[in-house]
Amino acid sequence: MKVLVTGGAGFIGSHVVDMYVEHGHDVVVVDDLSTGKPEHVNPKARLYPVDIRSAELADVFAAEKPDVVSHHAARANVRESMVEPLLYADVNVLGSLQLLEQSRKYAVAKFIYISTGGAVYGEPEYLPADESHPIQPLDPYGVSKASFEHYLPLYRASYGLSFTVLRYANVYGPRQDPLGEAGVVAIFTGKMLLGEQAVVNGSGEQERDFVYVADAARANLLALDRGDGRIYNIGTGVGTSINEIFSRLSEATGYERNEVHGPPKAGEVFKIYLDVDRAAQELGWQPAVDLDEGLRATVEYFREQM
């Protein structure tokens, strides 16, 4: 099967590419390399350095004619989205719609869309949040990701384009950017290994659902031929506080500095973790890597890179 992975040079997308290649699929990567790195792209995949908003996207579809699209390319920083809402609408809605149009024109059989379980539900009315929870995002990133979801049933009903939506929790692991604004595990790990002060935003009692990147990638593999027309949370079903992440990473890295707390960040949900029963029942997916194992693997990766 030929699979086109957008954002396939990025943190999560590159792991998805690896998973598809490992299972014998022919993989094409589209990534504008604004945050992705060519060295993360599996050598058995073909990389097109193309922005999903550009006219060049049509050339890629014409040349490759993929069977499936796994759409990871996005602007994905909650804090940045509060400052640049137009950019987030442009990339995450209009760029995604261009990709969907090319999928329609070239008779793609399935469109796997990566949404966010950490941002679309807003401050949850109940926990763990399941896929039926009201959509009430608190930031333009969550709004943009949720908005595009509504195009998928339309294209399925009108053009027969199958789809599956995967709403990721907070994905962490090797290749995440420790210098960015998003991804607390990578940021803390980078600071701790360098002996610099890691800062906890707000009280640190915020809770997130941390899912290891290889588990997220495996959901994309299962979605190739399962879950048509369905939305799935991809997480662990467990909330872990930022203070707990600080503590566990301090132990894993040998970090000796105490916690320092900064101001809370606008637009961020306080507590969110996801009900993943539907993914278990229908996709046959469940997380396989526990938090301690995943944090150790992440620390080891960054230690080797530094």
pLDDT in tens, the chain (306 residues): 999 999 999 999 999 999 999 999 999 999 999 999 999 999 999 999 999 999 999 999 999 999 999 999 999 988 899 999 999 999 999 999 999 999 999 999 999 999 999 999 999 999 999 999 999 999 999 999 999 999 999 999 999 999 999 999 999 999 998 876 569 999 999 999 999 999 999 999 999 999 999 999 999 999 999 999 999 999 999 999 999 999 999 999 999 999 999 999 877 889 999 999 999 999 999 999 999 999 999 999 999 998
Return the CA Rg of the chain.
18
Domains in the chain (CATH in brackets) are: 2-171+210-235 (3.40.50.720)
pLDDT digits (tens, 9 = 90+) for 63-86: 999 999 999 999 998 889 999 999
What is the per-residue burial (b if ≥16 Cβ within 10 Å, else e) of 154-184? Answer: ebbeeeebbbbbbbbbbbbbbbbebeeebbb
pLDDT digits (tens, 9 = 90+) for 175-215: 998 876 569 999 999 999 999 999 999 999 999 999 999 99
Rounded Cα–Cα distance for residues 139 and 266 (Å): 8
- Per the annotation, the verdict on 141 as an active-site residue is yes
Whether 172 and 231 have beta carbons less than 8 Å apart is answered as no
Q: Give the active site residue among 88, 141, 168, 255.
A: 141
